[in-house]
Chain A
Amino acid sequence: MPDKPGRNAIEVKNVRKIFGTGEAQVAALDTVSVSIRENEFFTLLGPSGCGKTTLLRLIAGFDFPSAGEILLHGQDIASLPPFKRPVNTVFQSYALFPHMTVAENIGFGLEMLGKPKAEIKARVAEMLKLVKMEALSGRRTSQISGGQQQRVALARALAPQPKVLLLDEPLSALDYKLRKEMQIELKRLQHETGITFIFVTHDQEEALTMSDRIAVMSSGKILQVGTPWDIYDKPAERFVADFIGETNFLTAAIANIGNGKVRATLKSGATIDATVAEGFQPKDNATVVVRPEHAKLTNGKGELSGAVENIVYFGTDTHIHVRLDSGEAFTVRQQNTRSAGCGFERGDTVGISIGNDAAQVLRD
């Protein structure tokens, strides 16, 4: 998709990062390009080892690219040391200075920038209020809880008003409830400060709920960039579809490409409409994905048919696992009601009807 020129906070252009030498060379980043817009909550999502943290470190300046450019508001910063980049980081371990108080930690960046004492004091007070830590400003960082340390780390990184805030899996050390709270808190902070956030996580749910846009990474490459809706409903590749949420993969014969739509003939012989992934190269056979909640189980006929193999109750919904006549597996997610069961039993012969706008053809 075309990016509006001049409104990008960060532009990563053809960046490669090679670790090791000779035989032991590993490309942690393999020619990555991505643009991150101003005021955006942008997430780098992927499994561990996919290169997301490496990319973050290159933007922060803790490491330097082997090739390529990193632009901040149009200026190449790839070779600047971290203390010369108007970019701040929230570390996974928080990295609060243990020999300083909460307030001293928050004021550190401003102090290093040589701001006058009065300004530092005012800004620190403002930050303490922003993260609701006014009462604990005089405490040592060892005397506050994990959640509070997280807030201090955020305040410290936000205090110098960076152009971009980098967050390296900052919520991974918190328990479930606190993590949920902090997700909302982070969204609020991003909204209130208007600073561009680049957030690194391996948690797909976290990425979907918080981000304006997501880049899905695997093996040093960015596979797809898009809104949470794009990524979830229009995955481009098998890895993306599989990594984010549950999905069904079907093999189909593809015909009639035009206007981003195709007719896909499934193994059952039924034909359904499907959207196609960006970069799809016309070919005869391709993989079609259908999310479990976009298909319906029927007692009669459908595009697919098979036998119920297993029924799993999840509270809000029930997952019904079906073995199709073609031998493929297919899961349907059905919303639960209070009064009745799901209406099917193991061994039932069932039909599956796929909605009009439910299928997406992958490019790989």
Chain B
Amino acid sequence: MARSFAIKHQPGFTAIAATCFVVLYLPIVVLVAYAFNAATSTSEWGGFSLKWFQSAWQNSQVIDATLRSFQIGAVAAILATIFATMAALATTRTAPYRGLTFKYAAINQPLMVPEIVTGVALLIFFSRIKIFTGYSGLGYLIAAHTAFCIPFAYLPIRARLENMDLTLERAAADLYATPWQTFRRITLPLLWPGILAGLMLAFVISLDDVVITEFVKSGGQDTLPTYMLGQIRRGITPEINAISTVFLLLSVVIVTLFFFISRKRD
């Protein structure tokens, strides 16, 4: 019997795989290691210390930016998830019709349009509104984050809806449940893992955003990523490493939760 083509058995596979992993993870390992450096340099090891974590914790600018990031992320993720859920219901609980594919594309547009274009467009658009209304609060950032988080929340919710057995909703209707009761008692509970997964994904995406935030934010509205970017321009201290390490830990926790929730079947 001829052996089927298995990429694992091709010469050089191990080396290529190892190189990829090294390029991907070594810089992160180094970054995390130097977060515990006692020296002020990010290239010379001066012994183990937690002082940069302490210094970041006492830096009111860091705390402010972090809280702002969480605030924007939480509100935007919740809004995006609500819109995404409605969009997912509207695009799956319907017979296919002309233009449905166009709607998928429109909903997922932020995944395809370069962020920089969206950023510039929002900058111009919001500046007009700012002049017109005089309002310059966090609302702009929240609106922008909500918009680009929608596709990320939409995808896991739609996947779950598509895998759901439609007979269940029919059975509920057969057992005297009105459309709203069917949604409340059957669709929503079964959709819940998808919604939570979408919410977490949207939150992580919002926390991580630099480009659009950089364009949209007003003075004094730094989020954690834009604050870090600003600091790096003035030279890196291990404080940035410490903040990155905490950020990394947080992302890993959320993504792990996301993985377990979306794997849960019933």
Contacts and interface: CB of A to CB of B under 8 A. Distances in A.
Interface of A: 60-62, 81-84, 87-89, 91, 93, 95-99, 108-109, 112-113, 140, 142, 156-157, 160
Contacts of B186: 97
Interface in B129-187: 165, 167-168, 170-178, 181, 185-186
Given A99-B190, A112-B175, A93 B266 contact: no
Interface string B84-106: 00000000000000000000000
Contacts of A89: 171, 174
18 contacts: A61-B173, A62-B170, A62-B174, A81-B173, A82-B173, A89-B174, A95-B165, A95-B167, A96-B171, A99-B266, A108-B177, A112-B172, A112-B175, A112-B177, A140-B266, A157-B174, A157-B175, A160-B176
3 nearest interchain CB pairs? A109-B175, A95-B171, A112-B176
Nearest to B176: A112
B172 A108 contact: yes
Given A95-B167, A99-B189, 17 more contacts: A61-B173, A61-B174, A62-B170, A62-B174, A82-B173, A83-B175, A83-B176, A91-B167, A93-B165, A95-B168, A97-B172, A98-B168, A99-B190, A108-B175, A140-B266, A157-B174, A160-B175
A83 B190 contact: no
Nearest to B168: A95
B167 to A, nearest CB: 4
Task: Please tell me the size bucket of the interface on B.
Answer: 10 to 19
A113 B173 contact: no
Contacts of B185: 108
A93 B172 CA distance: 14
Nearest to A109: B175
A157 B165 CA distance: 18
Given A95-B165, A98-B266, A60 B172 contact: no
Contacts of B171: 89, 91, 95-97
Of listed B167, B176, B177, B178, residue having the most chain A CB within 10 A = B176
A242 B109 CA distance: 58
Nearest to B189: A99
A306 B143 CA distance: 89
B244 to A, nearest CB: 40
A83 B177 contact: yes
A83 B174 CA distance: 5
A98 B174 contact: no
Contacts of A99: 189-190, 266
Contacts of A93: 165, 167
A82 B172 CA distance: 9
A141 B161 CA distance: 20
Contacts of B172: 97, 108, 112
Interface string B172-214: 1111111001000110011000000000000000000000000
A196 B165 CA distance: 28
Contacts of B266: 98-99, 140, 142
A281 to B, nearest CB: 43
A141 to B, nearest CB: 9
Contacts of A97: 168, 171-172, 186
Contacts of A61: 173-174
